[in-house]
Amino acid sequence: MGLFNFFTQEIAIDLGTANTLIIHNDEVVVNEPSIVALDRNNPKTVLAVGKRALMMHEKTHESIRTVRPLKDGVIADFNAAELMIREMIKMIYPKKPLFPPSWRMMICIPSSITEVEKRAVRDSAEQAGAKEVYLLHEPMAAALGIGIDVEEPVGNMIIDIGGGTTGITVIALAGIVCDQSIRIAGDEFTADIMEALRRYHSLLIGERTAEQIKINIGAAMKDLDNPPDDIPVNGRDLVTGIPKQIMVSYQEIAEALDKSIFKIEEAILKALEMTPPELAADIYRRGLYLTGGGALLRGLDKRLSQKIKLPVHVADDPLKSVVRGTGLALKNYEHYPFVMR
């Protein structure tokens, strides 16, 4: 067994709709968008993965296609997902090792996932070269990553706004007490921005441009303490068909995102209604924890705390809290009861 352990390497993977992160030896070695560029004539050939594939996205000709293998937090394209995981793992060792290690992987999955979808994650990891695969629910990983002691009998509410889904979960005693999952998250915000610019400026923009707008000036409220400057946006004019540039302010974006954020608020209220009273008392004392890329939206914490009248804490480095927690769970995977074998 000793020799086998020598060749076994542990990696923790946060397989997200928008970004995939991998932790190896306690540091984030891979942090790439979840996208692959494949050759149409030979679908097993990967042309690019991650940031390089994202640069090709929506700019391809007919013999290249870019695929986002995950949709709404679950694997939608099995073949592409397996190729993507395999290529991402190759990034850990840029030089090919003499003896390729056998991997022990721990992968995060949304808590609303079905058995079939769970199976798809496990299978693609095994196809990509994993000897042992452990699965972990994302809210659990997020709680560990934020630094909450999940095993104590105290309720904590974690709101994870990812790329495909927003998960709202109450955790106590190392288990999930109640959870709400809605398919409104980063991708939906991006679509809202595209729609708003099309409607109000008759400007057609791509997904990547909308994503950049969201990152640069995305906001959840119209009155921010330190507002970002207006930014120029390039796209195609729908009336004339000629490329043009307009200036967009964060207030417009806040208005565009308003409906989706309202739906997230509704889901949080619904989850709070389902919470047992003792845990609700704990949540009143502790507040809510925001993690995931959506937590970076300006003014979101303030808006939620005004609506729900509870303190809202944003995790530091919310993009990495899930993968950090997965790394912690992988270290003592025998000890934690919530790791799925």
- Which parts are annotated binding residues for ATP? 17-19, 163-165, 211-214, 293-296
Pairing of strands 8-15, 19-24: antiparallel
Q: Are strands 102-109 and 130-137 parallel, antiparallel or unpaired?
A: parallel
DSSP structural state of residue 32: E
**N-to-C CA span, the chain:** 20
* Dist CA 279 CA 301 (whole Å): 21
d(CA 114, CA 118): 6
Total number of residues shown for the chain: 341
User: Residue ranges for the binding site?
Assistant: 17-19, 163-165, 211-214, 293-296
229: Cα within 13 Å, side-chain hemisphere: 2
Joined together, the tokens standing for residue 121 give 């994650």
Strand order in the sheet with 27-33: 27-33, 19-24, 8-15, 102-109, 130-137
Q: Are 291 and 255 in contact, with CB atoms under 8 Å apart?
A: no
Residue type, 46: V
The string of DSSP codes covering 230-269 is PEEEEEEETTT--EEEEEE-HHHHHHHHHHHHHHHHHHHH
Nearest to 109 by CA among 81, 131, 129: 81
Q: Residue 16 burial (CB < 10 Å; 0-12/13-18/19+)?
A: buried
C-alpha to C-alpha distance for 193 and 68, rounded to whole angstroms:
20
Nearest partner of 133 among 85, 190, 181, 92, judged by Cα:
85
Contact call for residues 47 and 139 (beta carbons, < 8 A): no
- Name the β-bridge partners of 156: 171
